[in-house]
Structure 1
Amino acid sequence: MFSVKCQSKARLDDKVAVITGCNTGIGKITAREFYKLGAKVIMACRDVNKAKQAVDDIVGEVKGEKLGQLVVEELDLSSFASIKRCAKRILEKETQINLLVNNAGVMMCPKSKTKEDFETHFGVNHMGHFLLTLLLLPKILNSAPARIVNVGSLAHIFGNINFDDINYEKRTYFSAFAYCQSKLANVLFSKELANRLKGTGVNVYCLHPGVINTDLGRTVDQVFFPGTWFLFKIFSYPIMKSPEQGAQTTLHCAIDETAGEQTGLYYSDCKVKSPSGRARDPELAKKFWEKSIEMAGLADYDMFKASDTIPEPLRDV
Structure 2
Amino acid sequence: MRGRHIAVTGATAGIGRAASIELARRGARLTLFCRSPEKAAILERDIREHGGEVSIIIMDMADLASVREAAKTFLLRNETLDVLLNNAGIVNTSRKESAQGYEETLAVNHFAPFLLTGLLLPALRSGRAARIVNVSSGAHAFVKDMGYNDMQAQKKYSTFHEYGRSKLANILFTRHLAQLLADDHITVNCLHPGAVSTSLGTQNSGLMGKVLPLLLKPFFRTPEKGAETSLYLCSSEEVTEVSGEYFVNCKAVKPRRWARDEAAAARLWDYTEQILDFHYPL
Q: Same fold (TM over 0.5)?
A: yes
- Of 3, 9, 12, the match for 1:23: 12
Instruction: Give matches, 1:1-317, under 5 Å.
Output: 12-60=1-49, 62=50, 68-159=52-143, 160-169=145-154, 171-219=155-203, 222=206, 224=208, 227-234=211-218, 237=219, 240-298=220-278, 301-304=279-282
- Residue ranges of structure 1 left out of the alignment (5+ in a row): 1-11, 305-317
On the 8 A contact 1:110/1:219 being kept in 2, the answer is no
| Alpha-carbon distance in structure 2 between the residues aligned to 1:269 and 1:208 | 8
Distance in 2, Cα, partners of 1:34 & 1:226: 30
Shift of 1:161: 0.4
Larger Rg: 1
Corresponding residue for 1:3?
none
CA contact (8 A) 1:98 1:140 kept: yes
> Which secondary structure does the structure 1 equivalent of 2:111 belong to?
helix
TM-score by length of 1: 0.85
Contact 1:109 1:223 in 2 (8 A): no
Q: Is the 8 A contact 2:80 2:126 kept in 1?
A: yes
Partner SS, residue 179 of structure 1: helix
Could you state the TM-score of these two structures normalised by the residue count of structure 2? 0.95
Check 1:225–1:75 CA distance in 2 against 1; reply closer, same or farther (3 A cut).
closer
Instruction: State the identity %.
Output: 32
The CA RMSD measured in Å over matched residues stands at 1.6
Query: Which structure ranks higher in relative contact order (CA pairs < 8 Å, sequence separation ≥ 6)?
Result: 1
Q: Is the 8 A contact 1:208 1:268 kept in 2?
A: yes
The question of whether the paired residues in 1 share the 8 Å contact of 2:61 and 2:108 is answered with yes
Gap runs ≥5 in structure 2: none
Deviation at 1:115, TM superposition (A): 1.0
| Residue correspondences, number | 281
| C-alpha distance in structure 2 between counterparts of 1:221 and 1:228, whole Å | 11
Change (3 A) 1:222 1:194: farther
Question: Match for 2:230: what amino acid?
Answer: T
Task: Verify the 8 A CA contact 2:30 2:53 in the aligned structure 1.
Answer: yes
Deviation at 1:32, TM superposition (A): 1.0
